Structure 1
Amino acid sequence: MGRVAIGTAPDSWGVWFADDPRQTPWPRFLDEVVAAGYTRIELGPYGYLPTDPVRLKDELDQRGLTMTAGTTFEQLHRPDGWESTWRDVARTAELTAAMGAKHLVVMPSMWRGDNGEIVEERLDHEGQARHGQAVTELGRRLAEEFGLRTQYHPHADGHVDTQDTVERFLEETDSAHVNLCLDTGHISYCGGDNLELIRKYPDRIGYLHLKQVDPKVLAEVEAEGLSVDEAVRRGVFVEPPNGVPELPPVLDALAALDVDVFAIVEQDMYPCAPDAPLPIAERTLAYLSTAGGGVSS
């Protein structure tokens, strides 16, 4: 049986941006991660945590924390997207690697804006193929220059979001350079099937984000044609076990793959009250610790 090693992320403390007065200050985030019982974190948006690698490593070491991955977005579906993507990705990758992490979680650009408007055309099959080739090249360079494994994160309202686009993406990318960060909440939000993806692509599951969706809120959001950002503000992502998908079957399916994988709790809560994240994080870790699937905190 594989080991599913649990961690958490700034996102679960309401952090979406490098600097926002509504967000939890980074020292409090790190202190509360420890208080909740976690020993692993993600970097979060570049610039939220200290970007000086010596200082950041010292802050983590003082608290007994390790970093599993950095997170970033890409714009590689655009003909002129490589330069801007590489600029943002490279700085995140450099800091991530300096922390001893081995993964970089990469997310797609959005086709729908915060107000629900369509800001870009959806990719056709030709566009998906070009995008997959570009992401494969990104993964190759990240491995070569930083020693990082690229884990691609489908995202609601992003160019890789639904079950069809996720499967198409996996077909258009090279597993030697790109695998999947399976975000259970975003897959369910977009009507996908997490267990089916694990069953069909067991060798492509390289990393995991754990979250759940409130079906009632999701139905309201879909009926009104709202963006995922607005859905988050309405509380579409909820702490387990209060939403879908059921996490024990997902964790069991992962453990059955007989590989070790990081599973990062990432409950989107932007913005949120400053005292809300810690008790949720404590309850979530307690729940996951008894959910089966070879979970290790």
Structure 2
Amino acid sequence: MIRIGANPICWSNDDMIEIGGDIPLEQCLAEAAEIGIEGMELGNKFPKTAPALKAKLAEFGLVFVSGWYSTFLLERDADAEFAAAAEAIALRKGAGAEVLIVCECTRTVHGVKSAPLSARPVLTDAEWAVFLPRMTRFAELVAGAGLTLVYHHHMGTVVQTEAEIDRFMAGTGAAVKLLLDTGHATWGGADPVRLARLYRDRIGHIHTKDVRQDVRARSEAGGWSFLDSVLEGVYTVPGDGTVDYVAVFRELPDYAGWVIIEAEQDPDKAHPKTYVKMGYDNLVRFLDEAGLKRAA
């Protein structure tokens, strides 16, 4: 069964904490619950211990889904990464998560407002040869700790383009699952329908955000940074851009897990509750049209 969740980045940004910084956590959780959201991913305003995190979400009838963890496997081996991740793994597992969301952040530019996306890191063959087996080993260690590693391809990082996603998937083992992000895929030049079809057996988590192609075009023409592009509205909620979600979901007839609304926007320009409600209603319709069953 599929459950619809949300990421608090729809209300408050983690890379630029001043964006939506004035929106209380309680407002975010209350609005999410009212919309029909069942679970939330982690944000900077959330409690820092598993019992407190579970309790806060339970106040609003929500459960914990998971949260982002930055890996640096180009700089340290899998065992060192696993040791560094111990606290993050314990928090997620203790709060009820089943997956660990990871993204390789060595030399990333996605959190640097002054850095154009063209400055992102591109791996050499030698770096790929180091990175891929380390990611597999790290995923196996995470599995031993009781969580499934789901890899988040992301703009501004070493796995951004369709070719890079393909190389990543071909070079990692079965313990590594894919977090399919429709917005990052589309902006990065990949077809999310193709990714869903090719990797359906290894997709362990889904992030849904849509892309405003006019803003994307201006970003690429102007050499904007990731954060400037976000603030200008490159992303929006599912159904408000160009992604064909019904086609994506039809490629995933056996998917069982979370579908997360993760559409970072400037809340002063895109009222969070209005947009998340729009995204939720669209997702329900898209999932129903694709024939996928949601949890009762």
Q: TM-score under structure 1 normalisation?
A: 0.88
**Residues 118-173 of structure 1, C-alpha deviations (whole Å, 9 max, x = no match):** 6664101221121111111221221212x110000000111001000001011111
Q: CA contact under 8 A between 1:76 and 1:82: conserved in structure 2?
A: no
Q: 1:241 aligns with which of 227, 239, 242?
A: 239
Q: 1:62 aligns with which of 50, 59, 63?
A: 59
The answer for the alignment partner of 2:91 in structure 1 is: 95
Gaps of at least 5 residues in structure 1 are none
Q: Identity percentage over the alignment?
A: 27
The answer for the alignment partner of 2:50 in structure 1 is: 53
Is 2:277 aligned against 1:282?
Answer: yes
1:123 maps to a residue whose letter is: L
2:131 maps to a residue whose letter is: H
Q: CA contact under 8 A between 1:211 and 1:265: conserved in structure 2?
A: yes
Residues 216 and 82 of structure 1: CA distance in aligned 2, closer, same or farther (over 3 Å): farther
The answer for the alignment partner of 1:130 in structure 2 is: 130
Matches within 5 A, 1:138-157: 138-145=138-145, 147-157=146-156
Q: CA contact under 8 A between 2:209 and 2:262: conserved in structure 1?
A: yes
Q: TM-score under structure 2 normalisation?
A: 0.88
The CA deviation at 1:249 is 1.2
Residues 274 and 101 of structure 1: CA distance in aligned 2, closer, same or farther (over 3 Å): farther
Gaps of at least 5 residues in structure 2 are none
**Residues 177-205 of structure 1, C-alpha deviations (whole Å, 9 max, x = no match):** 21100000000001101111122222111
- Taking the aligned partners of 1:215 and 1:164, their CA distance within structure 2 comes to 21
The answer for the alignment partner of 2:157 in structure 1 is: 158
The CA deviation at 1:240 is 2.9
Residues 274 and 35 of structure 1: CA distance in aligned 2, closer, same or farther (over 3 Å): farther
Matches within 5 A, 1:102-117: 102-109=98-105, 110-112=107-109, 113-117=112-116
- Taking the aligned partners of 1:222 and 1:18, their CA distance within structure 2 comes to 21
**Could you tell which deviates more after superposition, 14-23 or 48-57?**
14-23
- Taking the aligned partners of 2:272 and 2:201, their CA distance within structure 1 comes to 33
**Could you tell which deviates more after superposition, 23-32 or 189-198?**
23-32
**Residues 55-81 of structure 1, C-alpha deviations (whole Å, 9 max, x = no match):** 222112222111222211112122579
- Taking the aligned partners of 1:244 and 1:90, their CA distance within structure 2 comes to 39
**How many residues in Structure 1 have an aligned counterpart in Structure 2?**
287
Q: Secondary structure at the match of 1:5?
A: strand
**Residues 14-73 of structure 1, C-alpha deviations (whole Å, 9 max, x = no match):** 3315965842222222112112211111123xx530012222221122221112222111
The answer for the alignment partner of 1:178 in structure 2 is: 176
Is 2:75 aligned against 1:78?
Answer: yes
Q: CA contact under 8 A between 1:210 and 1:263: conserved in structure 2?
A: yes
- Taking the aligned partners of 1:178 and 1:116, their CA distance within structure 2 comes to 30
| Cα root mean square deviation, aligned | 2.3
1:154 maps to a residue whose letter is: H
